[in-house]
Structure 1
Amino acid sequence: MPTINQLVRYGRKTPKKKVKATALRKMYNSLTRKTREVPAPQKRGVVTLVKTMTPKKPNSALRKVARVRLSNRQEITAYIQGEGHNLGEHNVVLVRGGRVKDLPGVKYHLVRGTQDLEGVVGRKSSRSKYGTKKSGQSNAAAPARQSVQPAADVASATEEE
């Protein structure tokens, strides 16, 4: 335990938090062929392999994952969330951080509804997480807009009277 005099002199140092999604923090410069530390929320990548993995001990399933080569030339394993997907080799995807607790070594998620990865079909709740558009709402509002007469039609209707 520090004395008051030590605290006045040096203060307390906050411990640095360890970043778990390290591949999102690097950028590759192809001109200089060097990697720099530039943090980013997402990164683009190309799918090299789509496969299934089995989760850790108490759970049992076939979780869909993709091996992705990022734009900084790092190869990572990312989880494909939601039911069904259209991914294949050489597809371009967007990768975000976020680990999957029961899959060892999977520290990234693929963003649904962007690039070549389509949103989940038939999704009703939590649509923004799965890249699904609102269905039926835009079509229902269209007839209501058409019922309003344009200004030119209103003017001609008043002249006839």
Structure 2
Amino acid sequence: MLFLDVDGPLIPLGGKPPKDPEGRAVKVDATGTWDGTSNPLLSRLDPTHGNRLTTLGCELVWATTWMADANEEVAPRIGLPELPVVDWPEDEAPLTPGLHWKTRALVAWAAGRPFVWVDDEISDADRAWVTANHPGRALLHRVDPRAGLCDADFAAIARWLAEHA
């Protein structure tokens, strides 16, 4: 299973969005069609990412504050089908300093199964907590939010999945 965040990994937070010949922000979907009505951050999506994620060969799950909107706004633009969405608990247990607010919920969702978590906010505290509290294998892969998912990230994730297949 691969838990996937949107802001940072799929929508890089650095740089400027591309422009069309008339200087407008370019927004594309998986077919390369310009979409002039959507959230301007969606223009930063890479339409090849859906295929690259699908070919990793694991169950993909949205782990994002976009919630179900990820299926409506992000998935079609990168060529992904509708994916399950992690429902974040409303009455969260007291936060552990340094621990990401998603960590406990993702471990609960995984229910002992191996997982990869792709996010731009993963820390050593999250890794230590998962190691201590999750009986299955886990890769917590931090993506540089300025660049988003890149070739090196896909290679690291594919390598880990192959080693733990």
Report TM bin, short chain. under 0.3
TM-score after normalising by structure 2: 0.22
Higher relative contact order (CA 8 A, sep 6+): 2
Larger Rg: 1
TM-score after normalising by structure 1: 0.22
Structure with the bigger percentage of strand? 1
